[in-house]
Chain A
Amino acid sequence: MTAEAVRARQRRWNLDDNAVRNLGLVGVLVVLVVIGVVTRPELYADPTWVRNNVLTILQQASAIGVVTVGMTFVIVGGGIDLSVGAIIALAGVWSTTLATQSYGALGMIFTALVVGLAVGVVNGVLISYGRLVPFIATLAMLVSARGLAAQISGKQTQVSTNDTINNLATTRPLGIPLLVWLLAVVVAAGWVLLNRTTFGRRTVAVGGNPEAARLAGINVKRHTLMLYALMGLCCGLAAIMLTSQATSAQAAMANLYELDAIAAAIIGGTLLSGGRGTIVGALFGVLVFSTITNLFAINNLSTEVQNMVKGGIIVAAVLIQQFRYRSLTQLLKR
């Protein structure tokens, strides 16, 4: 089918590129669920189990989902943040020290958010005003934030004795876990911010063509700084969510979250070079990974195979993107 035919069909259905890609991800999700139903019909026969399973998949996607929303903003704005796992660890550890815990749940939440925000601001300043390449600046932050987290925790697992924090993971308003509500709020806020505000339009402009954005009167440096600060804030929130789920924090927590978040954003249709991306796609990306983990668990398949499948999905998603953006005919000519 030629690109023109594809576009004509899209016009008929009134769909833009993003909607098509998101539908594709929904398709992948459906396929994964169907595989689950076929391989473990006895589990799927129990409606209570199915309902629980959906909520479990969503709850396990909540912390990484919040990070991915932040990551989408950073990547759309032309950057990358490799330090998110380390920021979560630092915010988690800092908010569970004995001194912080003595200030109660609000003190812990405040600490996690401020630490996340502060590290994000440092990243942003290094990148926008210090003119460091985002890859290098956040790689340095990855190493040093985990180092500081290990220093603060004395390399021990810090158990949260605060019931309010620990209960965040068990509370289920209207039958849906609080962490899932949090994810929904962050996704909704992210969607509005990216699609319905000047901040969002500037993010796209800065990521698409920074020079043009500067000439159009956007303060590119300050905007970049704000993107990394937003990322840090998301990490602070994710740190609280993870701490409540694990009822503890430690310097090694949120291991490789940076890769999961980047991968989810990419398969959700965010262009790694910046200037384009969707929040809804990123959410679907996270859900695809969370569903794969679930599918492999209920079939007792090894995590090694699971990681290979994840890698395959990332490659496939990027290949499909390339097909869409250099039309099929162009590819055939080469």
Chain B
Amino acid sequence: MSALSRRNVLFGGAAVGAGALLTACTSNDPGTSAQVKTNESGDANAAPGQKVVIGFSAPAADHGWIAAITNNAKAQAAAYSDVELKSVAAGNDAAAQRAAVATLISQKPTVIVMLPHDGKELDAAGLEAMKAGIPVINLDRAFPSRAAYRLQIKGDNFGMGLAAGAYIGEQLKSKGISNPIIGEIPGIDSLELTQERSQGFNTALATYGFKVANRRPAEFTADSGQAAATALLQALPKMDAVWNHDDDQGIGVLAAIKQANRSDFFMVGGAGSKAAIDLIKADSSVLKATVTYSPSMASSAVSLARLIGQGKGMNDLVELQVPKEITLSSETITKENADRYAALGF
């Protein structure tokens, strides 16, 4: 009996000790830097004006990009002395976000900035807010009804594929490769955004007379990227170029390339993460370029929400009000311009 209890004490002690040690190991502050527009040029729009309350709703982040969206919105709002950001957690699905937006409307903010779980499912919520006299800024995932938003600001998925295809096409043409083998690693294949990206990619490649030789979808996670890339590399023992849709899953794709000890091709990324931009700048891997789909749109959405709330327009435009739709251009980041984009990485 005494032996047993001693054993129990030892095990118990070890468990408590390990527990204490591990709880200390959850600290995690990578010090994320947000993409904020600071205006020191004496622009008339920058001067503090009428106070604007911005209601903000975005899905719970499960991916670096969404996390950056929320960070950016908060940081941009903090940069203005006349803006107050009321952020409501949108929960895990469209129904939860509808409820959250309803609460938000009842609080009567000046403007609402919303990244919906799904544009179609939150369309009604946008209409309701507009009916209540609150201008809605529809971020990235588009509402089908044009009455559901005052401003729509979004990225260009088709343009992303187009930019990646154009870069790959140009590079291969300048190298004089006439019949190149091109691989593609998309994200979750059932999503509309993935299909648009692939369409853009194929369209651009077709203008050079090229096509994708093999396509292995991943799931926007690094471990799925590793698995997809390993399969792709095995299927194409010789390859000239590959486009990976997402820099987050690209961590796994690059790991797989290193594990397979391959360097016979170049790679283009997607989204424009800080790590990818740094790697392109260092020019130390197969990653030579990335095409942006930048979460900086959240910062811009907050800036424009402020202007809409104050009834101001964009200074460089003739119109007195902010336009209704803005689609960001997908830009190609290479070694040459990486310095300029370094601040926009997320």
Asked if A250 and B221 make an inter-chain contact with CB atoms under 8 angstroms apart, the answer reads yes
Instruction: Please tell me if B235 contacts chain A, counting CB pairs below 8 Å.
Output: yes
8 Å CB interface, B45-68 against A? 60-64, 66-67
Query: Complex formed: what's the CA distance from A5 to B260 in Å?
Result: 49
Asked if A97 and B25 make an inter-chain contact with CB atoms under 8 angstroms apart, the answer reads yes
Residues on the B chain within 8 Å of A94, using CB: 22, 25-26
Interface bracket on A = 35 or more
Query: Complex formed: what's the CA distance from A152 to B259 in Å?
Result: 28
Asked if B234 and A294 make an inter-chain contact with CB atoms under 8 angstroms apart, the answer reads yes
Residues on the B chain within 8 Å of A98, using CB: 27-30
Central interface residue in A157, A250, A297, by most chain B CB within 10 Å:
A157
**Of B35-43, B165-173, B209-217, which binds chain A?**
B209-217
Instruction: Please tell me if A204 contacts chain B, counting CB pairs below 8 Å.
Output: no
Residues on the A chain within 8 Å of B260, using CB: 56
Cβ of A190 to closest chain B Cβ, rounded Å: 23
Given contacts A56-B234, A157-B251, A248-B222, contact A300 B27 (CB under 8 A): no
8 Å CB interface, A286-308 against B? 293-294, 297-300, 302-304
Instruction: Please tell me if A115 contacts chain B, counting CB pairs below 8 Å.
Output: yes
Asked if A246 and B252 make an inter-chain contact with CB atoms under 8 angstroms apart, the answer reads yes
Asked if B223 and A245 make an inter-chain contact with CB atoms under 8 angstroms apart, the answer reads yes
Given contacts A253-B223, A255-B219, contact A156 B30 (CB under 8 A): yes
Asked if A60 and B230 make an inter-chain contact with CB atoms under 8 angstroms apart, the answer reads yes
Asked if A114 and B18 make an inter-chain contact with CB atoms under 8 angstroms apart, the answer reads yes
Q: What are the interface flags for A147-182 relative to B under an 8 Å C-beta threshold, 1 for contact and 0 otherwise?
A: 000101111111100000010011000000000000
8 Å CB interface, A242-259 against B? 242, 245-255
Query: Complex formed: what's the CA distance from A157 to B225 in Å?
Result: 12
Asked if B64 and A97 make an inter-chain contact with CB atoms under 8 angstroms apart, the answer reads no
The residue that B231 contacts in the complex, of A156, A157, A294, with Cβ under 8 A, is: A294
Residues on the B chain within 8 Å of A246, using CB: 221-223, 225-226, 251-252, 255
Residues on the A chain within 8 Å of B234, using CB: 52-53, 56, 294, 297-298
Asked if B27 and A97 make an inter-chain contact with CB atoms under 8 angstroms apart, the answer reads yes
Q: What are the interface flags for A83-105 relative to B under an 8 Å C-beta threshold, 1 for contact and 0 otherwise?
A: 00000000000100111100100
Instruction: Please tell me if B300 contacts chain A, counting CB pairs below 8 Å.
Output: no
Cβ of A229 to closest chain B Cβ, rounded Å: 11
Asked if B29 and A245 make an inter-chain contact with CB atoms under 8 angstroms apart, the answer reads no
Given contacts A99-B27, A111-B25, contact A298 B235 (CB under 8 A): yes
Task: Output the nearest chain A residue to B273 by Cβ-Cβ distance.
Answer: A157
Asked if B61 and A297 make an inter-chain contact with CB atoms under 8 angstroms apart, the answer reads no
Central interface residue in A52, A115, A250, by most chain B CB within 10 Å:
A250
Cβ of A219 to closest chain B Cβ, rounded Å: 13
Instruction: Please tell me if A43 contacts chain B, counting CB pairs below 8 Å.
Output: yes
Cβ of A233 to closest chain B Cβ, rounded Å: 13
Central interface residue in B15, B25, B214, by most chain A CB within 10 Å:
B25
Task: Output the nearest chain B residue to A242 by Cβ-Cβ distance.
Answer: B223
Residues on the A chain within 8 Å of B254, using CB: 247
Query: Complex formed: what's the CA distance from A31 to B28 in Å?
Result: 49
Central interface residue in A56, A60, A156, by most chain B CB within 10 Å:
A156
Asked if B222 and A300 make an inter-chain contact with CB atoms under 8 angstroms apart, the answer reads no
Given contacts A245-B223, A303-B189, contact A118 B19 (CB under 8 A): yes
Asked if A157 and B64 make an inter-chain contact with CB atoms under 8 angstroms apart, the answer reads yes
Asked if B251 and A159 make an inter-chain contact with CB atoms under 8 angstroms apart, the answer reads yes
Residues on the B chain within 8 Å of A298, using CB: 234-235
Asked if A60 and B227 make an inter-chain contact with CB atoms under 8 angstroms apart, the answer reads yes
Instruction: Please tell me if B94 contacts chain A, counting CB pairs below 8 Å.
Output: no
Given contacts A94-B26, A98-B30, contact A155 B259 (CB under 8 A): no
Given contacts A242-B223, A246-B222, contact A166 B255 (CB under 8 A): yes
The residue that B219 contacts in the complex, of A100, A111, A150, A252, with Cβ under 8 A, is: A252
The residue that A99 contacts in the complex, of B26, B61, B66, B215, with Cβ under 8 A, is: B26
Central interface residue in A152, A154, A158, by most chain B CB within 10 Å:
A154
Asked if B224 and A255 make an inter-chain contact with CB atoms under 8 angstroms apart, the answer reads yes
Instruction: Please tell me if A323 contacts chain B, counting CB pairs below 8 Å.
Output: no
Asked if B214 and A99 make an inter-chain contact with CB atoms under 8 angstroms apart, the answer reads no
Query: Complex formed: what's the CA distance from A303 to B194 in Å?
Result: 14
Query: Complex formed: what's the CA distance from A249 to B213 in Å?
Result: 30
Query: Complex formed: what's the CA distance from A60 to B232 in Å?
Result: 13
Cβ of A230 to closest chain B Cβ, rounded Å: 16
Instruction: Please tell me if A129 contacts chain B, counting CB pairs below 8 Å.
Output: no
Residues on the B chain within 8 Å of A135, using CB: none
Instruction: Please tell me if B24 contacts chain A, counting CB pairs below 8 Å.
Output: yes
Asked if A114 and B22 make an inter-chain contact with CB atoms under 8 angstroms apart, the answer reads yes
Cβ of B48 to closest chain A Cβ, rounded Å: 32
Cβ of A264 to closest chain B Cβ, rounded Å: 15
Residues on the B chain within 8 Å of A49, using CB: 237
Q: What are the interface flags for A263-297 relative to B under an 8 Å C-beta threshold, 1 for contact and 0 otherwise?
A: 00000000000000000000000000000011001
Query: Complex formed: what's the CA distance from A250 to B234 in Å?
Result: 25
Query: Complex formed: what's the CA distance from A56 to B237 in Å?
Result: 13
Asked if A245 and B259 make an inter-chain contact with CB atoms under 8 angstroms apart, the answer reads yes
Task: Output the nearest chain A residue to B215 by Cβ-Cβ distance.
Answer: A300
Residues on the B chain within 8 Å of A152, using CB: 26, 28
Chain B residues in contact with chain A, CB under 8 A? 15, 18-19, 22, 24-30, 32, 60-64, 66-67, 189, 213-217, 219-227, 230-232, 234-235, 237, 248, 251-252, 254-256, 258-261, 275
12 A-B contacts (beta carbon < 8 Å) = A99-B24, A118-B15, A154-B30, A155-B64, A156-B32, A245-B259, A246-B255, A248-B255, A252-B62, A252-B63, A252-B220, A293-B231
Q: A59-B259, A99-B26, A246-B226 are in contact. List 13 more A-B contacts (CB 8 A).
A: A53-B234, A59-B230, A60-B231, A99-B28, A111-B25, A150-B62, A154-B28, A242-B223, A245-B256, A250-B248, A254-B223, A293-B231, A298-B235
